[in-house]
C-alpha cells in the first residue's frame, strides 16, 4: 500500500516536472519578453500606475498564454525538435509526455487565461479573440513562410492594444498601434537572433526562419530593425509627452542594442543566444524609463 502510494506520488511529481519543462517554467525570459511591452502599454495608457485588477489580469495572462504557447509550439514541432540540437531534450520530443497531453495543457491554460479576460470590459474580451488566433497559429508558421518571427511579434504585441482597451475602455488610439508596431519590430529582431542559433539545423530540416531569409545580411537587418524600434519608441515618447527620464532610458537601450550587435558579430550560436537573452534588459530599461517618468511627474 505504502509502496504503491509512493510510486503514484512519484509518478505525479514526474509528470508535473515534465509539464513544467513543456511550458518553459525554467526559462522565464520568454515570459518577460512578452511582459515588458504589456507593462509599457499599461503604464502609458494609465499615465502612471494602472488599475490593480487590470494589472493583475494582464500579468497573470502573460504568464498563462506564454506557457500555453510553449505547449502548442512543442506539439507543432514534435517531429522537428528531436532533430535540432537545442530542442532535442524537450519532453515531447523525447516521448516523456504525449501530444494529447501537450494540447490538453495548452487548452487548460488558455481557458484559465480567458476566464481572467472575462473580468475586463467587452472591448478587451473581443480583442482577446485575435490574441488567441495569433498565439494558436504562430507555432505552425515556420512551415509556410520565412517570417514566423513577425508573426510572433504580432502575437506578443497584441497585448498592447488589449492593455489600452482594458485600461481606458475605448478603442486603442494611434499611440497604442505605434507601440504595437515597435513591439513587432523588437520581437522580429530578437527572435531572429534566437533563430540564428538554430540556423544550421533548420537548413538541414527544411523549416523556415528570418535568419535563413536574411542570410549574410542578418546582422545588418537586425541592426535596422533595432534602429526602427528606437525611432518608434521616440515617437511613442513624444505622443505620450514623456520627458527626459524616458529619453535617457532610450539612450541606455541604444547601448544594449549596440552590445547585442557585438554579441552576434561572429554569428557564434552562444553569442547569438546571449544577445537574445540580453533583450530582457532592453525591455527592463524602457519600462523603467516610462515608470520613473510618470512617477517623477506625479511627485512634481
Indicate yes or no: pTM above 0.75: yes
Structure confidence at residue 6 (pLDDT): 32
**What are the helix (H) ranges across 80-121?**
99-117
**What are the helix (H) ranges across 118-243?**
122-137, 148-157, 159-168, 174-205, 210-214, 218-239
139: DSSP letter = G
Structure confidence at residue 163 (pLDDT): 98
Query: How does DSSP assign 224-266, residue by residue?
Result: HHHHHHHHHHHHHHHHTT--HHHHHHHHHHHHHHHHHHHHTTT
Question: Cα–Cα distance between 209 and 284 in angstroms, integer?
Answer: 27
Per-residue pLDDT of the chain (300 residues), as tens digits, is 333 333 334 478 888 899 999 999 989 999 999 999 999 999 999 999 999 999 999 999 999 999 999 999 999 888 888 888 888 888 988 889 999 999 999 999 999 999 999 999 999 999 999 999 999 899 888 888 999 999 999 999 999 999 999 999 999 999 999 999 999 999 999 999 999 999 998 898 888 999 999 999 999 999 999 999 999 999 999 999 999 999 999 999 999 999 999 999 999 999 999 999 999 999 999 999 999 999 998 766
Does residue 34 contact residue 156 with C-beta atoms inside 8 Å?
yes
Structure confidence at residue 300 (pLDDT): 62
pLDDT in tens, 196-227: 999 998 898 888 999 999 999 999 999 999 99
Q: Which domains does the chain have, with CATH numbers?
A: 16-299 (1.10.357.140)
Among 183, 233, 136, residue whose Cα is nearest residue 36: 183
Structure confidence at residue 174 (pLDDT): 97
Question: Cα–Cα distance between 168 and 164 in angstroms, integer?
Answer: 6
Contacts of 58 (CB under 8 A, 6+ apart): 38, 42, 159, 162, 163, 166
Structure confidence at residue 8 (pLDDT): 38
Among 284, 3, 51, residue whose Cα is nearest residue 166: 51
Phi and psi for 68 in degrees, rounded to 5? -65, -40
pLDDT in tens, 77-122: 888 888 888 888 889 888 899 999 999 999 999 999 999 999 999 9
Amino acid at each position: 500500500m505504502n509502496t504503491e502510494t509512493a510510486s503514484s506520488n512519484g509518478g505525479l511529481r514526474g509528470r508535473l516536472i515534465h509539464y513544467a519543462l513543456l511550458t518553459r517554467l525554467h526559462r522565464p525570459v520568454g515570459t518577460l519578453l512578452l511582459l515588458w511591452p504589456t507593462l509599457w502599454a499599461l503604464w502609458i495608457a494609465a499615465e502612471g500606475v494602472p488599475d490593480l485588477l487590470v494589472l493583475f489580469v494582464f500579468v497573470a495572462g502573460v504568464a498563462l498564454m506564454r506557457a500555453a504557447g510553449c505547449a502548442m509550439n512543442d506539439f507543432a514541432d514534435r517531429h522537428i525538435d528531436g532533430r535540432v540540437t537545442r530542442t532535442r531534450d524537450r519532453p515531447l520530443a523525447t516521448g516523456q509526455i504525449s501530444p494529447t497531453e501537450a494540447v490538453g495543457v495548452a487548452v487548460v491554460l488558455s481557458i484559465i487565461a480567458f476566464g481572467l479576460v472575462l473580468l475586463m470590459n467587452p472591448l478587451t474580451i473581443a480583442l482577446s479573440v485575435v490574441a488567441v488566433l495569433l498565439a494558436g497559429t504562430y507555432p505552425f508558421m515556420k512551415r509556410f513562410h520565412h517570417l514566423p518571427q513577425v508573426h510572433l511579434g504580432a502575437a506578443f504585441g497584441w497585448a498592447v492594444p488589449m492593455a489600452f482597451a482594458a485600461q481606458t475602455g475605448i478603442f486603442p488610439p494611434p499611440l497604442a498601434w505605434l507601440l504595437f508596431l515597435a513591439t513587432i519590430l523588437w520581437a522580429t529582431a530578437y527572435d531572429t537572433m534566437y533563430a540564428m542559433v538554430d540556423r544550421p539545423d533548420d537548413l538541414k530540416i527544411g523549416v523556415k526562419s528570418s535568419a535563413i531569409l536574411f542570410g549574410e545580411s542578418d546582422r545588418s537587418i537586425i541592426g535596422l530593425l533595432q534602429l526602427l524600434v528606437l525611432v518608434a519608441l521616440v515617437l511613442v515618447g513624444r505622443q505620450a509627452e514623456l520627458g527626459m527620464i524616458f529619453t535617457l532610458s532610450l539612450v541606455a537601450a541604444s547601448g544594449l542594442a549596440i552590445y547585442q550587435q557585438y554579441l552576434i558579430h561572429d554569428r557564434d550560436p552562444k553569442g547569438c543566444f546571449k544577445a537574445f537573452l540580453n533583450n530582457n534588459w532592453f525591455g527592463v530599461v524602457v519600462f523603467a524609463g516610462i515608470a520613473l517618468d510618470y512617477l517623477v511627474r506625479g511627485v512634481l
